[in-house]
Amino acid sequence: MTAFRAVLLRDLRLALRQGGDAAVVVLFFVLAATLFPFGVGPEPNLLARIASGVIWVTALLSVMLALDRLFLADHEDGSLEALATAPAPLLAAVLAKCLAQWLLAGVPLIVAAPLLALFLQLPAEGLPALLAALTLGTPTLVLVGAVGAALVLGARRGGVLLALLVLPLAVPVLIFGVAAVDAAVAGLPTRPHLLVLGALLLAALATAPFAATAALRQAIE
């Protein structure tokens, strides 16, 4: 827990000191979502039908925007090797970095999502489901993305490879996240969809950190 806390606080301090990555993620999220009305037209009923899908797709792309640098800076300055050879398990550092990434990228998206939902004419009935689905889904995206970031570490065109690896794995989160919002708007139960998102999060927590740790050790060697 001491190593976990130290890595988490270190990443948060570095990110807040630089201040650019989190702002870029949120700015991309907002700009990408606001472009859709210009492309499909301002008709409210049409925007309301596609609002949940637009928000989820842009949230997925925004989370991926910062994933390629999740381990890259530590790999370049030698910190990753120090973490791998430290007495504390590398798994704790991986979990801490994933949590820091979610706090810096996922939480701002959740905060900005209601404003975008209103801009895209999403009915108010869908807002609670949207927030709940994003709260369950964005950590899953970060965890899955951490595996991809570890696998492409040090590779040329790592960002492109990361997208090819992560996007197919993110499809279930996208499907059930959108389905939860659409069910809430239609007056149907959202619990089944949220339970699936919760199960996906638990599955990612149980597998992704171990896979990312193994991939990092392979990259270091």
pLDDT digits (tens, 9 = 90+) for 39-61: 887 787 888 888 899 999 999 98
Domain count along the chain: 1
Q: At what angle do helices 44-65 and 158-185 cross, to 10 degrees?
A: 140
Give, in order, the Cα–Cα distances in Å from 152 to each of 41, 53, 61, 70.
Answer: 39, 28, 18, 11
Model confidence at 76: pLDDT above 80: no
Q: Answer yes or no: is pLDDT of 140 > 80.
A: yes
Q: How confident is the model at residue 158 (pLDDT cuts 50, 70, 90)?
A: low
b/e sequence 204-218, b meaning 16+ C-beta within 10 Å? beeebbebbbbbbee
Q: Amino acid identity, residue 35?
A: L
Domain housing 126:
2-220
The two tokens of residue 26 are 């949120």
CA dihedral in degrees (98, 77, 163, 49; nearest 10)? 50
At 165, is the pLDDT very low, low, confident or very high (cuts 50, 70, 90)?
confident
Rounded to a whole number of angstroms, the CA Rg of the chain reads 18
- Distance from the first to the final alpha carbon of the chain: 26
208 Cβ contact partners less than 8 Å away, ≥ 6 residues apart: 98, 143, 144, 146, 147
Most confident of 29-43, 53-67, 158-172: 53-67
Reported pTM:
0.90
Which tokens belong to 165? 């690896």
Q: How high is the mean pLDDT of the chain?
A: 86
Average pLDDT over residues 176-204: 94
